[in-house]
Amino acid sequence: MCMTVPLSFVNRKTNIFVGTAGSGKSEIALNVSLELGEFFNVNLIDADVINFYYNLRSIKHIIENKNINFISTHFEDKSIDLPVLSGRVFEALSSSNGVNIIDVGGDELGSRVVGQFKELLDKKGYSVFYVANIYRPFNSNEEEILQNMQEIEKILGINITAIINNSHLLSETNPEDVIRSLKIIQNVADKKDIPYILTVVEENLFEEELLEEIKKYSLVYAIKRYIIR
């Protein structure tokens, strides 16, 4: 069991978090960045160009106070154009100094922002984590999740390497909600032939019965939710 991010699953170069809108990938990317920032230089790349409300840009002050290099692909300054932003991402992906964490928007445009760097990613190495929340629209069963994964892989041009279970109902979540998700996510992992590495749980839900059940499937990852909904 693990309450913090296990370094064994972290790619020391680039870690890409994908999923549909509302899956919680931004929250997980942030928590991983904050933890890794205690040991490594971290570049946190916000490639969510569509979500204007629940995104990393909304808590930019928290990120920068932790000495994490925050790179946004959002056009906050009209004087900044895409080539400049792409250059900053390219520089981070090319550098041998630091770990890259990329939060990819849950749409085609967000995936294309990262997909343009496929050749560089292939050369340098990467991991792609699909974040699943079965309580979000179009993610409620194995077939929907598998279809979403296939579509994201097609746009990115690279394969998803592992799955993370972040199934929750915000403050309404109870242990039974998490337990219900475990077998669904395991079946998806089996069909994709990829590892089911983490189940995300907030600390207020920690109870022995739930943690023991999760252990049958994956490690437990305790997170703090910074992006308030």
Alpha carbons 73 and 84: distance in angstroms, whole number: 10
Does the domain spanning 7-223 belong to CATH 3.40.50.300?
yes
CA 177 to chain CA centroid, nearest Å: 21
Place of tokens 């049958």: 216
- Alpha helices (H) along 103-202: 108-115, 118-124, 142-156, 175-192
Q: Where are the domains of the chain?
A: 7-223
Please state the pTM of the whole predicted model: 0.89
pLDDT tens-digit profile, the chain (229 residues): 455 666 666 787 899 999 988 899 989 999 999 888 888 899 999 886 555 545 676 677 778 777 788 887 655 544 444 444 567 888 888 888 889 999 987 656 666 777 888 888 999 899 999 999 999 998 999 999 999 999 999 888 899 999 999 999 988 999 999 999 999 999 999 999 999 999 999 888 888 899 999 999 999 998 888 876 5
User: What digits encode the pLDDT tens for the residues 169-216?
Assistant: 988 999 999 999 999 999 999 999 999 999 999 888 888 899 999 999
Strand (E) or helix (H) holding 201:
strand 196-202
